[in-house]
Chain A
Amino acid sequence: MYQLKGVTKRYMRGKNPVDALAGVDLTIEDGGRLVIQGPTGGGKSTLLQMLGGLDRPTAGTIELDGVDLARLPESRLTKVRAESIGFVFQSFNLIPTLTAQENVETALVPLGLGARNRRERAAEELESVGLGDRPNHLPSEMSGGQQQRVAIARALVKRPKVLLADEPTGNLDESMRDEIMDLLDGLWKEHGLTFVMVTHDSSLARKAPRVATIRKGKVTVTENAAA
């Protein structure tokens, strides 16, 4: 479970301080699904990075299962990212020189698994996202949708507790968007993940049970009983 209290992130824009997040309080239950929405530059991605332990707040606490990520030493934070958090990015962020299978394996490298074990788990994960027949394809040999599937497989292959997705359908057309969202929803339910997604797409937000809207660093959470 995530518990954020008074999370503030202040940047300096020239000589002027800018609060990307201004005292955010937020709770995300285990297995919960939260969509973060808001205008460009409102602090959505910053909040996601705080949740993922990629950045530290200027003030406040970010507890994941009782551990404050804001105060955790870098080595332990890296371990948390390696074991508990999966990321999916808007532009896929696959390693261009590695095949689909090898890209998925990169998420298992920090866990210290043997090469054979890595290969087997990566192959299973690719199968689960519908790319079992393309393990040896390079990213450049795949469509955007296929690349995002590889990225999803990479995020989930380590069996994380949390899946963080930053505009996962932002670079995809509508049909591909629905395909990827169906896949993510299915995996969320199947694995019992805590799923946090940043999106601009209101149609996707409408399907989410909880929506956090960020404006000028402030978060407003709305529950969607219909979802």
Chain B
Amino acid sequence: MFFTYLRRELRRRRKAALVVASGLALGIALVIIVTSVSSGMSKAQDKVLESLYGLGTDMTVTKAAAAQGAGGTQRPRFEFDAKEDEDATQSTDRVMVQGFQTLASSTVGKVGEQAGVADAVGGLSLTVMKVDGQFKRGEFKQDESAGQGGPGGGQGGGGQPQGEVQGGGASFDVNSFTVYGTDVTQQDLGPLTSSQITKGRTFKATETDAEVAVVDSAYAKEKELAVGRTVTVSGTEYTVVGVSTADSGDAAANVYIPLKQAQTVADSKDKVTTVYVKAAGSQQIDTVKAAIQKNIPGTTVTTSADLADTVSGSLSTASDLAAGVGKWLSAAVLVAAFLVAGLLTSSAVSRRVREFGTLKALGWKSGRVTRQVIGEALVNGLMGGVLGIAAGLAGAYVVTAISPTLTAQLGSTGGGTGGGPMGGGGGRQTASRTLDIALTAPVSLSTVLGAVALAVAGGLIAGAFGGWRASRLRPADALRRVA
């Protein structure tokens, strides 16, 4: 009888049921879309951070920023000699430590000894600027009128030819790329972990000082590099053993070589730019950070959370919008939908006073009448839930299908925040890194279960409104009011 009665009533009042279900559906769909977009943004941020840190890195240690002007800003200088042989191609390159700040390799060991540190590995980030080209000498062209001055003229000129230099100049190509010196004995930490080896292989643990390289796929394509070919860094030829592709599409470096080789080409023996640290547990990150800063002076420790704070650009704006406006809007729509559902259910009870009064006169307990009202409201809520989940999934699918591109800028805050391997040494250089991330809206099972819970809650709230009214209905009053 319960289900028969419920089904018939919902069919009779299908318009009102549809209004209630639609309201709840709208709220639930918004919650799903906002939650999934927020989750997508969180994933996008994680991708951005991973592209800098690599997987599993909880924090980086870099040299603390020195005061501006101390030692002067080092800038690369290129010097070319004037050579006798005309039109000879000249080439020179400069290898610079990114951020111009290095730590002693021994820092890696000290960091590793700190309580709560599971693993620590050093890396050296370099920028190579290669300039090659040629000078072309100008040609002297004698002034013809001066040369034809006659005997008198020759004397007046004092024997000096009259004319001008024409043509000549310089044509140089500047090629800049980034090199990362990786500790091949510990490859489970560091920037290379955020890339997949798509061709060839990665470094062997024995290749600590081998002249081998892994190149980023985008750079390999641009420079037509492939496994087995060579890439030259400061005069040293490295055999390409593997091609890597960054998960985020934006690699940490163009070329990866063993750390020792990087130290050699940069003339930075026993130096690293960054120490990548993995904490023993996520709860210990702050403790480890404090311990490193206290025990190893002159270092800057940057956690993922610190770096996340430096994210700006449309990703940050959209993330703020989703967290702020989106969540409030969803909450407001949900509350409004719950209220409307409750009021409509309550109003439906008012229209059915005689019906419920009659049932009570027949001996139906108040609880049974209330259950009937709540049951109807619950089905309305579940219908709203089904519609809302469908609409929410469709919305999330559309967002993922469109994949709007968001821009994330990192490390451009001007100092003190450390930064990733390519983000400068913190403070000294305000290098920023811009990444384009495609936004997705993944819907998790917990989001769907949450939506079902909201639908049930919506139904129960609406049912509570109506049920409360129905339970308070006295049969005599109900029958008298409609007599």
Contact = CB atoms under 8 A, between A and B. Distances in A.
A54 B475 contact: yes
A87 B362 contact: yes
Contacts of A115: 1
A203 to B, nearest CB: 23
B363 A98 contact: no
Contact of B474 (A45, A55, A97, A102): A55
A23 B212 CA distance: 112
Interface stretch (A27-35, A65-73, A76-84): A76-84
Given A55-B476, A89-B479, A95 B358 contact: yes
Interface in B254-270: none
A93 B354 contact: yes
Contacts of A45: 480, 483
A70 B363 CA distance: 16
Interface stretch (B4-12, B43-51, B411-419, B426-434): B4-12
A169 to B, nearest CB: 16
B321 interface: no
A97 B5 contact: yes
A98 B5 contact: yes
B12 A96 contact: yes
A205 to B, nearest CB: 20
A79 B364 CA distance: 9
B371 to A, nearest CB: 12
Contact of A154 (B8, B362, B365, B480): B362
B359 interface: yes
B368 interface: yes
A89 B358 contact: yes
A106 B483 CA distance: 21
A98 B358 contact: no
B479 A49 contact: yes
Nearest to B478: A54
A39 interface: no
B1 A109 contact: yes
Contact of B364 (A55, A74, A110): A110
Interface string B327-341: 000000000000000
A74 B360 CA distance: 11
B361 interface: yes
A87 B12 contact: no
B2 to A, nearest CB: 9
Contacts of A83: 363
B355 interface: yes
Interface in B81-112: none
Contact of B361 (A52, A97, A102): A52
Nearest to B358: A93
B363 A107 contact: yes
Contact of B4 (A55, A102, A107): A102
B78 to A, nearest CB: 91
B476 A54 contact: yes
A45 B12 CA distance: 31
A95 B363 contact: no
A75 interface: yes
A81 B363 contact: yes
A188 B20 CA distance: 47
B380 to A, nearest CB: 16
Interface in B1-39: 1, 4-5, 8-9, 11-12
A12 to B, nearest CB: 14
Given A45-B480, A54-B476, A55-B476, A98 B361 contact: no
B362 A106 contact: yes
- Residue from B1, B359, B363 having most chain A Cβ neighbours under 10 A: B363
A106 B377 CA distance: 21
A98 B368 contact: no
Contact of B8 (A55, A75, A98): A98
B12 A109 contact: no
A105 interface: yes
Nearest to A56: B476
A81 B362 contact: yes
Contacts of B357: 93
Contact of A102 (B1, B480, B483): B1
Given A49-B476, A78-B360, A95 B365 contact: no
B476 A97 contact: no
Contacts of A52: 361
A89 B354 CA distance: 11
A95 to B, nearest CB: 6
Given A95-B355, A96-B12, A97-B9, A81 B361 contact: yes
Contacts of A55: 474-476
Interface in A95-123: 95-98, 102, 105-107, 109-111, 115, 118
A105 B1 contact: yes
Contacts of B474: 54-55
Contacts of B12: 96-97
Contacts of B8: 97-98
B358 A82 contact: no
B483 A54 contact: no
B432 to A, nearest CB: 67
Contacts of A96: 12, 355
Interface string B222-256: 00000000000000000000000000000000000
A106 B372 CA distance: 13
Given A45-B483, A54-B475, A107 B9 contact: no
Nearest to A74: B366
A115 B3 CA distance: 12
27 contacts: A45-B480, A45-B483, A49-B476, A49-B479, A49-B480, A54-B476, A54-B479, A55-B474, A55-B475, A74-B366, A75-B365, A78-B363, A78-B366, A83-B363, A87-B358, A93-B355, A93-B358, A95-B358, A96-B355, A97-B8, A97-B12, A102-B1, A106-B1, A106-B364, A109-B362, A110-B362, A110-B365
Given A54-B479, A79-B363, A97-B11, 5 more contacts: A82-B363, A95-B355, A98-B5, A105-B1, A110-B364
Interface of B: 1, 4-5, 8-9, 11-12, 354-355, 357-366, 368, 474-476, 479-480, 482-483
5 closest A-B pairs by beta carbon, nearest first, are A82-B363, A97-B8, A55-B476, A110-B363, A93-B358
Interface of A: 45, 49, 52, 54-55, 74-75, 78-79, 81-83, 87, 89-91, 93, 95-98, 102, 105-107, 109-111, 115, 118, 154
